[in-house]
Structure formats: C-alpha cells, structure tokens
A and B are shown apart, each in its own frame.
Chain A
C-alpha cells in the first residue's frame, strides 16, 4: 500500500451563503502526479488555499504526512515542505530572477541572528551554499540567460517559470501548482511537462490544477474532477475521459471544445 502524503477529509468551505467546496475527500500518494480539474469556479484554487493554510475550512481536515494541519499558518505549512504556486502570476517583481530564487531558499538558509550579522564561518558557508543552489536552480529551470533581469520585466511564461523555481527553492516534499502552464505557448508547455516529470522523479509529490486537458491527460497518474465544489469523478486519465459525469460537467459549462479535445487525444 502506497504511503499517503496528503489527505483531504470531509473538507467544506462556505463563503457566506456560497458553498465553494462541499465534503471534499481525496488523497495523494507519495511520488504521484495527481491533477485536480474542473470548470471555472469549481473550487480548485479554494481547495489549494485550504491545503496551504491561507483559508480555514468551514468543516473537515487536511492531513499532511499524517499530521493535521488545523490552525497552522501558511509559513508553518510551507516549513513542513508543502509548497504551492499561485494561479495569478506571483514573483518578487523588483528583484532579479536569481534573487527571487535566493529569497525562495529562505527555508534552507536559517541561521541565528548573531551568526548572520557577525558573518561567522557557518553563515559564510551557508550563504555560499545558497548562492550555488540558486544558480543551479536558475539553470535547471532554463532561465540562465535571464538570471540578472528583474523578474517583473520577464514575459508571462517566464514569470510562471520563476514562480516554479521559487517554489522548488523552498524544497518541497509536495508541490501544489495552480495552472502552471496557463499563458504558455505549446512549446513552452511541452518543455514544462518534461520539467514536471523531472520534479516528480527527484522525489517530489505533485498536485496540479490545470485547464489544459491534453497536458493533464498526458502527465497525470490520477485525476480528481471537481464541479460546483463537489468531487464528481476520480481515477486514471483513461477512465476520466470516458466518464459521462465529467463530460456532462464540461458540457454544462458550454465547453464542448474541451470534450472534443479530450476525445481527440483519447
């Protein structure tokens, strides 16, 4: 039996009268790539916000590596190695790409204040290691040429990559990515899919929210489908693309093209 990294147990989120998520149950196993899909407004980002402590669920619990995340602040959850990226492009715009990644490395560089200020050997060693690591990550994500440009000046697709590099810098055990390829062109997306596989192969468990169906179908081990805050289907890509409830949900959202696209790629 595979080891469960993240489990969502009976989670509900209400915004006043609006039920954004109702009774959500699913889990992600170690080393899996799971995708959370669903039409606009289905509650995917809200689910991410709950998992990472940005939002307190109205009901239910999120367990990460067996521990209940209840009451934990976002930075505490990040400290456990559960790291997320954001749907809306999110970088430190006035810093270079390289410095963005350095800020992302925060979790690894923790020193005592006195060590940092006095520049003791351990502080120097740690600083040196972080700089090397940052350079390596920038290269790894393929932004070497842009390393010294301000992140805010990059193209949309490049900024999304910076966001991922930042998240990787935070040393995730599990990575939650909210629509990482939105705004990327086909070739960028293709490269990115390979990147996701590489991240997984390095031992990181991945939960993905994505609208790009061909990409989701090709990269996921399992897919969880959300509609109006409810899970309507769950399973491997082949099952999902044939699932009538899923097709219905997307049709209901007048997204016939999506279904067609899914069918074409079947």
Chain B
C-alpha cells in the first residue's frame, strides 16, 4: 500500500516537466528538490536518531564548494613558492568527491560530539558551520571569498554509445535532482528499516536500554551523521552545478532553519515527511512573491507553519497516516506478527 503511494508520487514527479512549461516554476522545483534532499538528510538525524544538526547547511555548503573547486581547479599558494595546484576535473567527479568529503566531515563532527552526549551535537554542528563559513569567506585564494566562485560547469554524464550529455537545461537538471532525490530516499528507507535503523530508534527512545542490549551509541550515531552529511553534500554539489555560482552565503543559518521547518512540518521520523514539508515550504515563497510584499511573505510563511503544527503536531505525514489508520509512516511498525511471518514465507 505504502509502496504504491510512493511509486505513484514518483511517477507524478517524473511527469512534471512534460506538462509544466513555465521555466520559472521549473526552476523553483529544481531548487526546492535540492533542498528536499538536504531536508531528507537532516531527517535521518533528527527524525530517526533524535539528534538535531543545527549546522546542517555546512555539509551542504562543503559539498557545493568541493564540487565547484574540483571542476574549476585552483592554484593556492601555501608557503613561499609552494603552491597547491589542481587542474579541473569533470564535474561528476566533483559530485562524488562532495559526497565523500562531506561524509568525512560528518564523521569528524559525529566522533567529536557523540563520545560526549547531551546537547553537544547541536553546539558542535552550529560551531562547525560557522567555522566553515568563515573559512569560505576568508580563504580568498581558494574560494574567492565574497567574490564567489563563478562559471561552475554543468554536470556532464557519459552515456555508453551516445557520447556525452551536458546537463545544462532546466529539463535535464530537474531529472538529475529527481534521480538523486529518489536514490537518497531509497537509501535512507533501506537504512532505517535495517537493524541499523532499529539501533537508531532504540537509542532515540531509551538510550540506557539500547546500550544494555549491545547497541554501540557512538558507532550508530556517527554512521547516521556520515550518511546524512554525505547526502547533504550531494545536494550541495547539485546546487553548485545548477546555479553555477556560489559564495559563502550558501552557509547561511537560515537555510538550516528552512530544512528544519521542512522536516518538522512534514513529519520528522517519516520518510515522506521532508518531501511533503519541502514541497510546501519550498514552493510557498514562489506563490507568495507575486501577491504580497516581502514582510508579509515572511509572516504568512510563519503562520502556515504554526497552523500546520497546531493542527498536526507530529507533522503532516504521521498525522494523516494516523488518521487514515495506516501504520506509522517510516517507522518499523508492522501491521501484525501474522503479516510479518507471511512476508517471511514469501521471501523464502
């Protein structure tokens, strides 16, 4: 049942560029999609481990910069005549490097915060984001600082037998973002339904008990941080190659807040939550912009959020699922033992 809904939604998203011709709206959908990927990665931490990453945009921004610099190349003086020179590589390499390096940063932040517990993670992530922003702003030789990295090339993919395809148009980028979003969704879904996901749930609900049945806190939470940061890095890379210009403003705190709003309104701990919340809060500004001044837009934005959380405190997806009597979305709850045993037999 849930799978059918997921597939129908996917089919709908696939069809959009075929009937939506307005480039302005398509552009909004692409940037919203990129932020939804970021929100999904945030949800892995916030919704499935209970850890709030308030510097989540750092992983996104690092992905953007890594990918941009990989494809642009750089020449950075280190000491005296010693330079580090990097000749441009294909953007697709940058995309994968962005995932790896952002993931590694997730590892460092996770290792640092999860050996000590409590509110530590929130603080470490905020500080980390600020440090990274300052580096991007001040290491001008590498990042051009506030002058921004410009002319970032579009991602090119090689198609066997067909040569190369430069993903330059909105049409292309829409499908690129959709593909990455779908893969991320699938990956997170598999993860949270595996015993890794159960370990995360256990830690979130009752850490002492989880530890007593042999769940390794540091390892489990760090794993979640690595995967979350890696996916955020992928989103950042897509952003850099689509917008084709990035400056230290990508690290703006407000972007993290946007992702948190997407997750919380859609429903944290629900796989579809960030998608639903993301579509609403990603597209809301697009529809508000022509009809009201900026201040009123912000107020409306806030009112919509408050109304959603007031009517559906657990977020849209979990509340609707509960109303419709479905099993909790994204959770590991099974309809009944009988059902799970039947699936066991089906697999056999």
Q: List residues of A whose CB falls within 8 A of some B CB.
A: 52, 54, 73-75, 78-79, 83-86, 90-96, 98-99, 102-107, 109-111, 113, 116-119, 123-124, 126-128, 130-132, 135, 138, 144, 147-148, 166-167, 169-170
Return the chain B residue nearest A138 by Cβ: B337
Is B208 a contact partner of A96 (Cβ separation < 8 A)?
A: no
Hey, which chain A residues are within 8 Å of B223, CB to CB?
A: 113
Query: 4 closest Cβ contacts across the A-B interface?
Result: A78-B214, A116-B194, A109-B195, A170-B213
Is A92 a contact partner of B201 (Cβ separation < 8 A)?
A: yes
Is A132 a contact partner of B213 (Cβ separation < 8 A)?
A: no
For window 122-178 of chain B, which residues contact chain A by CB distance below 8 Å? Answer: none
Docked pose: A82 CA to B209 CA in angstroms:
14
Is A110 a contact partner of B195 (Cβ separation < 8 A)?
A: yes
Beyond A75-B214, A131-B340, whether A111 also contacts B201 by CB under 8 A is no
Beyond A74-B211, A74-B212, A148-B337, whether A113 also contacts B348 by CB under 8 A is no
Hey, which chain B residues are within 8 Å of A78, CB to CB?
A: 211-214
B78 proximal to A (CB < 8 A): no
B341 proximal to A (CB < 8 A): yes
Is A170 a contact partner of B214 (Cβ separation < 8 A)?
A: yes
Most chain A CB neighbours (cut-off 10 Å) among B201, B213, B337: B213
Beyond A117-B187, A124-B347, A131-B340, whether A86 also contacts B208 by CB under 8 A is yes
B335 proximal to A (CB < 8 A): yes
Hey, which chain A residues are within 8 Å of B30, CB to CB?
A: none
B196 proximal to A (CB < 8 A): yes
B15 proximal to A (CB < 8 A): no
B333 proximal to A (CB < 8 A): yes
A128 to chain B, nearest CB (A): 5
Docked pose: A85 CA to B213 CA in angstroms:
9
For window 200-251 of chain B, which residues contact chain A by CB distance below 8 Å? Answer: 201-202, 205-206, 208-217, 223
Bin chain B's interface residue count: 35 or more
Is A83 a contact partner of B212 (Cβ separation < 8 A)?
A: yes
B145 to chain A, nearest CB (A): 38
Is B336 a contact partner of A147 (Cβ separation < 8 A)?
A: yes
Is B341 a contact partner of A117 (Cβ separation < 8 A)?
A: no
B289 proximal to A (CB < 8 A): no
Hey, which chain B residues are within 8 Å of A113, CB to CB?
A: 196, 223
Hey, which chain B residues are within 8 Å of A138, CB to CB?
A: 337
Hey, which chain A residues are within 8 Å of B194, CB to CB?
A: 111, 116-117, 123, 127
Pick from A83, A95, A104, A148: contact of B332, CB under 8 Å: A95
Hey, which chain B residues are within 8 Å of A85, CB to CB?
A: 212
Is A128 a contact partner of B213 (Cβ separation < 8 A)?
A: no
B111 proximal to A (CB < 8 A): no
- Contact indicator per residue, chain B 281-313, by CB within 8 Å of chain A (1) or not (0): 000000000000000000000000000000000
Hey, which chain A residues are within 8 Å of B252, CB to CB?
A: none
Pick from A126, A144, A170: contact of B337, CB under 8 Å: A144
Return the chain B residue nearest A152 by Cβ: B205
Is B196 a contact partner of A116 (Cβ separation < 8 A)?
A: yes
Pick from A103, A135, A167: contact of B198, CB under 8 Å: A103
Is B191 a contact partner of A99 (Cβ separation < 8 A)?
A: no
B58 proximal to A (CB < 8 A): no
Return the chain A residue nearest B328 by Cβ: A94
Is A75 a contact partner of B211 (Cβ separation < 8 A)?
A: yes
Hey, which chain A residues are within 8 Å of B195, CB to CB?
A: 105-106, 109-111, 116, 126-127, 130
